[in-house]
């Protein structure tokens, strides 16, 4: 999801460009890992903790997890699981533990101007950790070489952040959209892009709104030839057409489903908000949505939920948390607040009507056996900010009717399954990497506990949320 934001003042644009140049040498290595580590042991026992293990199974009380050399050695009831002598013990009474989140629609950029996005290579990886993410997929790239370099720096220990599955540059059609995005005129150009970025180190591909069916076919065929998957924010191509062409994943739940528009012209996006209006005429038990769900499930096409970014367009919804807004430079914070206040003054709008339906349709897809994944998508007009946006996505999934164990699985093991890494990450089980998130309070009894994240552990190293957030107060928009 990329939406055009309000035009910022020329003086602000000049400031953003100049300061980004000044801070460029800091990218990836501005802060040392040790500044944010809360603890790290060769072996440790985490005891007396409420566990939501990511499998979708029931919440378990008073559990112990043994960690050795960055991996989970054993999981069991506190008092029943033997802790080896001389093993440091962390008593986590009054806390809850989940797997590290595997988020499937993230970016290393943020909206800084009208139709432009600023790279946040230093801050965003750490903020993703602060929000519980230990693995992310960038669903479309603006600075692909930098994303690939960042992935490698994190893997080598030169930088800290989640594992990154890098998507190649956005693959868009020939319709002008964002200046930083490709304009592909032919299927041959699309195929060449996929071949090039497959060799350059991209892990996957994202088809964007204005692609035609021949272009999408070329992308899917070439990506699959190289063993890569394709996801899509669709528009000119409908969901049913994309499924028939072999797409692996569709972004944004059902909010981008143009198939419902009665005047839909092949290979063209409907004009204006026609698709949204037609979607809003569909009932919760719409047969058209139901037929799409059955086809998605039958063809094993995954769906990514990004409720947070759509909530930001709906009237009557909460403002972004103060802590999130405090991370922004003043100009970007003010731009967000102007837009949000304008929406808040509306008694109702199309997005506020459609949001509950979109939630219900995602639940129908999940309950029908579909692979539903989660992402936060820090775009729109702002306010969707790593460190906070992932937690809001979890809250919105609960609002959609998912149980806590289901929410955690959607945001962890389901993503790991799609990436082919479920034997390594995505749940808390013996043999897996020690990726975990600690919350103060009982997640099963107190919904507010989701906003009380304490630390995120990746491969046995626990990173302090508060220290990361403090380090980037008032800096998002610059680094």
Strands (E), 143-182: 163-166
**Does residue 355 sit in the same domain as residue 412?**
yes
Shared domain for 258 and 327, answered yes or no, is yes
Task: Give the model's pLDDT for residue 467.
Answer: 98
Task: Pick 264 or 227 by higher pLDDT.
Answer: 227
pLDDT > 70: percent of the chain: 93
**For residues 278 and 346, what is the distance between their CA atoms, to the nearest angstrom?**
21
**Does residue 390 share a domain with residue 276?**
yes
Across the chain, mean pLDDT equals 92
Q: Indicate whether 404 and 440 sit together in one domain.
A: no
If asked whether residues 326 and 246 sit together in one domain, one would say yes
Pairing of strands 89-91, 43-51: parallel
pLDDT above 90 covers what percent of the chain?
Answer: 86
Domains held by the chain: number: 2
- The answer as to whether 145 is a domain residue is yes
Q: What is the pLDDT of residues 163-175, one digit of tens each?
A: 999 999 999 999 8
pLDDT higher than threshold 70 for residue 7: no
Grade residue 26 by pLDDT with cuts at 50, 70 and 90: very low
170 Cβ neighbours under 8 A, 6+ residues apart: 140, 141, 142, 178, 181, 182, 206, 208
Domain assignment of residue 105, yes or no? no
208 and 64 co-located in one domain: no
The answer to whether position 5 is within a domain reads no
Render pLDDT for 313-336 as a digit per residue (tens, 0 to 9).
999 999 999 999 999 999 999 999
Structure tokens at 356: 């509950």
Where is average pLDDT lowest: 12-26, 88-102, 111-125, 341-355?
A: 12-26
Please list the residues that pair with 232 across neighbouring strands. 207, 250
Tell me if 154 is assigned to some domain. Answer: yes
Residue 106 lies in a domain: no
In terms of pLDDT, which residue wins out, 179 or 163? Answer: 163
pTM, rounded to two decimals: 0.93
Instruction: For residues 16 and 149, state if they share a domain.
Output: yes
216 & 263 share domain: yes
Cα(101)–Cα(331) distance, integer angstroms = 31
pLDDT band at 312 (very low <50, low <70, confident <90, very high): very high
- Using the predicted structure, report yes or no on whether residue 271 has a pLDDT greater than 90: no
Query: Do 125 and 189 belong to one domain?
Result: yes
Q: Assign residue 84 the CATH number of its domain.
A: 2.30.40.10
pLDDT of residue 175: 83
Note the pLDDT tens digit of each residue in 361-370.
Answer: 999 999 999 9
411-463 pLDDT tens trace = 999 999 999 999 999 999 999 999 999 999 999 999 999 999 999 999 999 99
Same domain? 182 vs 251:
yes
| Dist CA 251 CA 232 (whole Å) | 6
**pLDDT confidence bin for 182, thresholds 50/70/90:** confident
What span, in angstroms and rounded, lies between the C-alpha atoms of 115 and 178? 5
Q: Mean pLDDT throughout 269-279?
A: 89
Q: How many Å apart are CA 421 and CA 426, to the nearest integer?
A: 8
pLDDT at 30 (0 to 100): 45
> What tokens appear for 466 in the block?
């508060």
Same domain as 43, residue 22:
no
Tell whether 4 is covered by a domain. no
> Using CA atoms, how far apart are residues 258 and 400, in angstroms rounded to an integer?
22
104 within some domain: no
Same domain, 161 and 176: yes
Q: Give the lowest-confidence range in 70-74, 173-177, 374-378.
A: 173-177
Domain CATH number, residue 146: 3.20.20.140
User: CB of 211 within 8 A of CB of 269?
Assistant: no
The per-residue pLDDT for range 184-219, each reduced to its tens digit, is: 999 999 999 999 999 999 999 999 999 999 999 999
Q: Which domain holds residue 47?
A: 35-98+433-470
Length, in residues, of the chain: 479
Angstrom distance (rounded) from CA 341 to CA 259? 33
Q: What would the mean pLDDT of 89-107 be, rounded to a whole number?
A: 98
3-state secondary structure of 65: strand
Digit-coded pLDDT (tens) for 133-155: 999 999 999 999 999 999 999 99
Evaluate whether residue 366 is within a structural domain. yes
């Amino acid at each position: 999801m990329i939406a055009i934001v309000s035009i910022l003042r020329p003086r602000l644009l000049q400031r953003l460009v100049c300061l980004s140049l000044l801070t460029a040498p800091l990218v990836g290595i501005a802060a040392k890992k040790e500044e944010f580590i809360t603890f790290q042991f060769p072996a440790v026992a985490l005891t007396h903790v409420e566990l939501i293990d990511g499998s979708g199974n029931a919440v378990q009380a008073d559990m112990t997890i043994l960690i050795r050399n960055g991996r989970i050695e054993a999981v069991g009831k506190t008092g029943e699981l033997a802790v080896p002598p001389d093993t440091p013990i962390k008593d986590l009474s009054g806390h809850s533990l989940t797997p590290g989140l595997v988020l499937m629609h993230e970016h290393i950029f943020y909206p800084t101007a009208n139709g432009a996005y600023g790279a946040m290579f230093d801050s965003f990886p750490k903020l993703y950790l602060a929000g519980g993410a230990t693995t992310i997929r960038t669903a479309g790239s603006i600075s692909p070489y930098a994303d690939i370099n960042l992935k490698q720096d994190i893997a080598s220990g030169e930088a800290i952040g989640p594992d990154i599955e890098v998507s190649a540059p956005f693959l868009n059609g020939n319709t002008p959209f964002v200046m930083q995005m490709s304009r592909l005129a032919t299927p041959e150009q699309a195929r060449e892009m996929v071949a090039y970025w497959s060799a350059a180190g991209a892990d996957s591909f994202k088809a964007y709104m204005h692609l035609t069916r021949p272009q999408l076919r070329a992308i899917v065929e070439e990506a699959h030839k190289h063993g890569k998957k394709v996801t899509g924010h669709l528009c000119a191509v409908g969901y049913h057409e994309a499924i028939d062409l072999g797409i692996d994943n569709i972004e944004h739940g059902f909010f981008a489903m143009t198939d419902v528009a009665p005047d839909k012209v092949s290979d063209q996006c409907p004009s204006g908000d026609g698709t949204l209006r037609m979607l809003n005429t569909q009932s919760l038990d719409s047969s058209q949505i139901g037929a799409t769900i059955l086809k998605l499930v039958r063809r094993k096409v995954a769906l990514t939920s990004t409720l947070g970014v759509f909530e930001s367009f709906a009237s009557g919804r909460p403002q972004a948390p103060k802590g999130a807004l405090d991370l922004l430079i003043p100009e970007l914070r003010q731009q967000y607040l102007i837009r949000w206040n304008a929406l808040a003054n509306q008694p109702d709008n199309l997005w506020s009507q459609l949001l509950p339906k979109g939630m219900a349709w995602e639940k129908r897809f999940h309950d029908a056996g579909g692979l539903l994944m989660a992402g936060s998508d820090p775009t729109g007009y702002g306010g969707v900010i790593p460190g906070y946006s992932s937690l809001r996505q979890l809250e919105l999934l609960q609002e959609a009717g998912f149980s806590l164990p289901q929410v955690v699985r959607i945001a962890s093991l389901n993503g790991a399954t799609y990436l082919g890494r479920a034997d390594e990450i995505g749940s808390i089980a013996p043999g897996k990497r020690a990726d975990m998130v600690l919350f103060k309070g009982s997640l099963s009894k107190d919904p507010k506990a989701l906003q009380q994240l304490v630390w995120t552990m990746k491969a046995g190293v626990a990173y302090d949320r508060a220290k990361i957030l403090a380090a980037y107060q008032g800096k998002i928009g610059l680094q």
